[in-house]
Amino acid sequence: MSESGHEILIGVTAGIAAYKTCDLVSRLVKAGHGVSVVMTAHAAELVTPRTFQALTGRSVLVEMFTQGGTPIPHIEPARRAELLCVAPATANFLGKAANGIADDLLSTLYLAFSGPVLMAPAMNCEMWSKPAVQRNIRQLLEDGAQIIGPETGHLACGVNGTGRMSEPERIFEKISQILINLNST
């Protein structure tokens, strides 16, 4: 299943699975989509924005307040994009999005975006099972966000459990499916 020629916004937060998002972005670009990446400042500590810049051929937005950048960086990308996918979505990001907190560029963009949103949570299994995180997931689902994963398996922290980000291929398929549904409505 594949769709092409859409404008997709990928949000990257600071989970170790951010390296897998490079593969997801590469697949989306190869499928013919225009892909813009917004990273949190913490995510930029794990994967360099330059990697996503090279993969997309576009500048990567991290900061809300920059000299000489996009004048209103939280509005313009939100207007242009047809779909927002946050992968990986940290416990921190999920909590902010579920509660309407907009204290950085990505969380503000989420609030400013009116199209379909897909989130791919990834975290340690204890974090995932925490009532606060599960409460935030229920809230996000109620708010209309779609959640993919997390999967059960080997986690970066060295244990087996639920918390692995879904594989890029699965997220790509889910994005394609959402785009097809978008076209048919």
Ligand X SMILES: Cc1cc2nc3c(=O)[nH]c(=O)nc-3n(C[C@H](O)[C@H](O)[C@H](O)COP(=O)(O)O)c2cc1C
- At 124, is the secondary structure helix, strand, or coil? coil
Does the protein bind ligand X through residue 93 (CB under 6 A)? yes
Residue 121 β-bridge partners: 89
Three-state DSSP string of 131-162 = HHHHHHHHHHHHCCCEECCCEEEECCCCCEEE
Does the protein bind ligand X through residue 43 (CB under 6 A)? yes
Does the protein bind ligand X through residue 16 (CB under 6 A)? yes
Residue number closest to ligand X, CB atom: 15
Does the protein bind ligand X through residue 91 (CB under 6 A)? yes
Least Å from the CB of residue 5 to ligand X: 30
Does the protein bind ligand X through residue 26 (CB under 6 A)? no
* Closer residue to ligand X in complex, CB, 11/116: 11
User: Where does this chain touch ligand X (CB under 6 A) — which range of 69-77, 89-97, 137-145, 174-182?
Assistant: 89-97
Does the protein bind ligand X through residue 136 (CB under 6 A)? no
Instruction: Check: CB of residue 118 under 8 Å from CB of residue 146.
Output: yes
Instruction: Check: CB of residue 105 under 8 Å from CB of residue 64.
Output: yes
* Terminal-residue alpha carbon distance, the chain: 18
Letter string b/e over residues 37-64, b meaning 16 or more CB atoms within 10 A of that residue's CB: bbbbebbbebbebebbeebbeeebbbeb
* Closer residue to ligand X in complex, CB, 106/179: 106
Pick one of 24, 122, 145, 148: the residue that binds ligand X (CB under 6 A).
122
* Closer residue to ligand X in complex, CB, 13/26: 13
* Closer residue to ligand X in complex, CB, 31/119: 119
Instruction: Check: CB of residue 73 under 8 Å from CB of residue 30.
Output: no
Does the protein bind ligand X through residue 125 (CB under 6 A)? no
Contacts to ligand X by CB under 6 A? 13-17, 40, 42-43, 88, 90-93, 122-123, 127
